[in-house]
Amino acid sequence: MREIVFDTETTGVNPAGGDRMVEIGCVELINRCPTGREYHAYFNPERTMPSEAEAVHGLSSIFLSDKPLFGDSCAELLDFIGDAPLIAHNAGFDFGFLNHELQHCGRDPVCLSRMICTLVLARSKHPGAKHSLDALCSRFGVDRTARVKHGALLDAQLLAQVYVELTGGRQIGLSLLAEARREDQINEAAATLARAQRPVRAVRVHAPSLDELAAHAQFIAKMKEPLWASVGVA
């Protein structure tokens, strides 16, 4: 099963009020395992970056000024995500900005039925605990030392590891391995039983008959100084 874990960085919290998405990072999972395929892009928001938002992700107006507009590069993003389920932390926020940008450039929004929210999963699995990405990384032993500031691709990479743990992670892998071993044992037992049930055949006779020995002697007699006669075989 193919899934995409993604994260966004923005100019603020309200797309309807003019805030824009400035960065997106995506990580591909196949059967809960990262494949190494990723998508990452920055976008020019066509507006100034508020200091509060820049303090969170470190992306300045100057840095983003030469980046492409979302509409100019969204085809590559849509091709990467395909029709896979999309996983995000506090997914309603990220979906809100992603769909706002898609609609802004005349594209169809992503169906919300594809949304998987790790915040909802975490609250269900660990009620009463802290559910920030940092807290979940600490809970599951995910190394986040590189996370000095928020970054869409780095956060998506961390979230992918957290998502695997939230959905059974290593236990899934262990159960699959155990199931494979059980299947091997069943196959070997079946093969052993099949061998035991084969019909027993009579021993084949390989010694020459008297007629065959006589025919052989006649054949040798026609030969000049046959080797077999010299060694006593004939």
- The predicted-structure confidence for 127-139, as pLDDT tens digits, reads as follows 999 999 999 999 9
Over the chain, what is the mean pLDDT?
Answer: 87
Task: Extract the annotated binding site for a divalent metal cation.
Answer: 7, 9, 155
Amino acid residing at 92: G
Nearest to 11 by CA among 91, 89, 100: 100
Active site residue 89: no
Q: Where are the domains of the chain?
A: 2-173
Mean pLDDT value of segment 66-82 = 96
d(CA 33, CA 1): 10
CA dihedral of 158, 162, 164, 169, whole degrees rounded to 10: 130
Please provide the CATH number assigned to the domain covering 2-173. Answer: 3.30.420.10
Burial of 144: CB neighbours in 10 Å, binned 0-12, 13-18, 19+: middle
d(CA 42, CA 71): 12
Task: Extract the annotated binding site for substrate.
Answer: 7, 9, 52, 57, 155
Burial of 3: CB neighbours in 10 Å, binned 0-12, 13-18, 19+: buried
pLDDT band (50, 70, 90) for residue 234: very low
Task: Extract the annotated binding site.
Answer: 7, 9, 52, 57, 155
Mean pLDDT value of segment 217-225 = 79
| Lowest mean pLDDT across 28-37, 45-54, 214-223 | 214-223
pLDDT in the model for residue 170: 56
pLDDT in the model for residue 65: 96
pLDDT in the model for residue 161: 95
Q: Which of 89, 100, 131, 150 is catalytic?
A: 150
Mean pLDDT value of segment 163-187 = 68
Query: For 87-121, how does the pLDDT look when each residue is reduced to its tens digit (9 = 90+)?
Result: 999 999 999 999 999 999 999 999 999 999 999 99
| Residue 231 reports pLDDT greater than 80 | no
Mean pLDDT value of segment 18-32 = 96
